[in-house]
Amino acid sequence: MRSKCKVGDTYVDSHWGYVMEKSPSGKWVRQHRLRMENHIGRKLNRGEVVHHIDGDRANNEMDNLELMSDFEHRSLHAAVKNRYTDATKAKMRAAAYEVADRPGESQRRSERAKKQHAEGRF
């Protein structure tokens, strides 16, 4: 028999490296977003991003998290795009290729995009 996960249970997403947490709603969410929502006392808006100041996606302490707009976040990363070491860049690239090379991944992404377009999300 399979055990049920409880609210507050966590795991690390093997692809992106984010800590995922079982929320009170029963959904798995990125822990840094959940912690920011609890800190500010409301749900995050669609265009809001929680930035990891030290770049460590597993470090979800409040003093390492910063709330900003998507534009601010993209601008920040564009300004410091060379902050990742070559080894970190290679690791991130390898993880992305690994996912892209999975059997059926291209079809899955295509179906997901079609669904999002049908829902008016783009």
Task: State residue 95's pLDDT score.
Answer: 83
For the chain, what's the residue count? Answer: 122
Its pTM surpasses 0.75: no
Mean pLDDT of the chain: 85
Task: State residue 81's pLDDT score.
Answer: 64
Q: What average pLDDT does this structure show over 105-119?
A: 80
CB 21 within 8 A of CB 10: yes
Question: Can you tell me which residue has the tokens 């929680």?
Answer: 50
Where residue 17 falls (left for φ over 0; alpha for ψ -120 to 50; beta otherwise) is left
Q: How many CB atoms lie within 10 A of CB 35?
A: 17
> Would the pLDDT of 98 be above 80?
yes
